[in-house]
Amino acid sequence: MKKYWKVITLVLFSVIIISGFYVQKALASTTSPEYMIETRSGDTSYIENIVLSGNVNNEEDMYWDYVQISTEGTKASEDFSFNEQLDYIYNYSPEIQKMYHEYPGFLRSKSMSANLYYEDEAAIVFVDTYIEDYQLPYEQMEIALLDKKSNEETQIMIDIPEYEKYDDLYIENVQKSGEEVMIFTVNYFNDQQYAELHAYRVDVATETVIEDQIIQPAAGEVGVDYSSILLNTYTGPRSSKAEHYMIYESSLKDEQDVDTDEILLSAYDTASGNLKELIIPSELKGLPLYPAMTVHESSIYYTNAVENGFEISRFDIEANKVAETQFVSLPSEVMTNFTSQTYYEGEAFSTYIDENIIYYVSASKENSGKDIAIVVADFNTGKVLYDGKIIDAPEMNESFKDNLLSIDWIYFN
């Protein structure tokens, strides 16, 4: 036995150290950050199903991790199953994560960008550009439809009208109404210097484009369409219902030089295909794009976070005017989390609207004392239904306490 001391020592040393490290890692409860929601006032039932999705990072350590925070605690990337970790499923938006679990067969061989999908109670639609040999321009778009009841998938290819005109085509949003699929795109030409905004209506039964509407023509020599933006895509998580209106905000100048009078808002009616200009008061147009504006059914909600609360205006798209205003009063120590810029000079908060209930979540928890505050309010009465914040859980490992926590999405289980 003595003769083999080298091999025995090497085996024992390697096995004890390496397996010891992984066993300790598995047993330790604090190998990832742990947060919890602390209630200041209100009814906790409003946040029971809420999930706040974001990330924890520390530049010094080059450390980054995904987190989901709910009333049940914190789920970090290592809390996902091994296969989910391999598929980086935590990197995708909540609706894609849900599809990954419920319809993995449909997601197979498809891009996982949320803007390429439409989902309602009966169906999921996926649209993507298609090229045979990686040579732009795109000649076709592929459309896949999943009937949730029968679990049957239909795939069709459609030719893009006048495809040769464009250098590139980006799909911003997909909608479905009856047998028609609507595809909202940005079509670039002249080496991406100019762009047109298009709405394609596709008849799935005949596999043809029945309408190619230019929502906004290219600015041409005047300038690049810096701020042409489809608000439904940029203002929070997508709803699982069809959008009544697609709202475009555009100006022909660089964002920095733009005057509020030069901002144009238009609404595309997904049922009729009609486009109309919206008459938005300039004080509302001057609010930062996101998170101040949220499109919900036939309304656009504008929120102005001020020192003592939220000023909310509901713009009725059909009536083309501000229909209601409301003020939600909150103490200044809560509002400071919503009014100050984040560490990365990003947006200060996220908004989610469910019927008349509005959820506000501030964007980041920083060393400076800025917290992630959660406020739930009733738009009709202006009453605060819930007020709380995210705090470090008692079991949080000391090494995670200096990290920056940011919230990107609010969604419901």
Partner 1 sequence: MKNFIKLVNFELNRFFPIYAALGILTIMLQVVGVFITSNDYIFQIEEQTKMGIVKESAIILEIGQMGMTRFTGSLWFGGPIALCVVTLLIYSLFIWYRDWFGKNTFIYRLLMLPTERLNLYLSKAVAIFLMVLGLVALQLVLLLVERQLFSMLIPAAYIKTSTISQIILGSEYLLVLYPTSFIAVLANYSRGFIAILVLFTLILLERSFKIKGLLLAGIYALATLIVLFAPYWIQAIFNRQLFFTSELFWITLALTFVVGAVSIWISHRLLNRRITV
Residues near partner 1 (CB under 8 A): 3-4, 6-7, 10-11, 13-14, 16-18, 21-22, 25-26, 31, 58-63, 65, 78, 82-88, 104, 107-111, 132, 397-399, 402
Q: Which of these, 328, 325, 347, lies nearest to 338 by C-alpha position? A: 347
Question: Between residues 84 and 212, which has the closer beta carbon with respect to partner 1?
Answer: 84
Specify the residue, 31 or 336, whose C-beta has the smaller distance to partner 1: 31
CA separation for the pair 93, 91 (Å, rounded): 7
3-class secondary structure, 350:
strand
* 85, 214, 251, 279, 311 from 282: Cα distances, Å: 46, 26, 14, 9, 15
Distance CA 99, CA 85 (A): 16
Q: Which is nearer to partner 1, 325 or 341 (CB)?
A: 341
At position 96, the amino acid (one-letter code) is I
> Between residues 314 and 365, which has the closer beta carbon with respect to partner 1?
365
Q: Determine if the peptide bond prior to 137 is cis (ω within 30°).
A: yes
Query: Closer to partner 1 at the Cβ: 37 or 146?
Result: 146
Query: What is the nearest approach in angstroms of partner 1 to the Cβ of residue 374?
Result: 27
Cis omega (within 30 of 0) for bond into 281: no
Four-point Cα dihedral 250, 256, 261, 263, nearest 10: 10
Give the residue from 282, 328, 278, 273 showing the smallest Cα distance to 300: 278
Length of the chain: 413
Q: How far is CA 37 from the centre of its chain?
A: 22
Least spacing, CB of residue 67 vs partner 1, in Å: 14
**Which CB, 14 or 329, lies closer to partner 1?**
14
Block residue for tokens 């039932």: 45
* Smallest distance from partner 1 to CB 382, Å: 41
Say whether 119 sits in a helix, a strand or coil.
Answer: strand
User: Least distance from C-beta 75 to partner 1, angstroms?
Assistant: 15
Distance in Å, CB of 62 to partner 1, minimum: 4
- Report CA torsion sign: 237, 243, 244, 246: positive
Q: How far is the CB of 29 from partner 1 (least distance, A)?
A: 12
Instruction: Report, in Å, the least distance between residue 188 CB and partner 1.
Output: 23
**Shortest Cβ 36–partner 1 spacing (Å):** 20
List Cβ neighbours of 5 (8 Å cut-off, separation of 6 or more). none
Looking at beta carbons only, is 17 or 205 nearer to partner 1?
17
Cβ distance to partner 1 smaller for residue 109 or 256: 109
Cα–Cα dist 337/72, whole Å? 23
What's the min distance (Å) between Cβ of 21 and partner 1? 6
User: Judged by CB, which is closer to partner 1: 157, or 271?
Assistant: 157
Rounded Cα–Cα distance for residues 337 and 405 (Å): 13
> Which of 282, 192, 285, 306 lies closest to 231 in space, CA to CA?
285
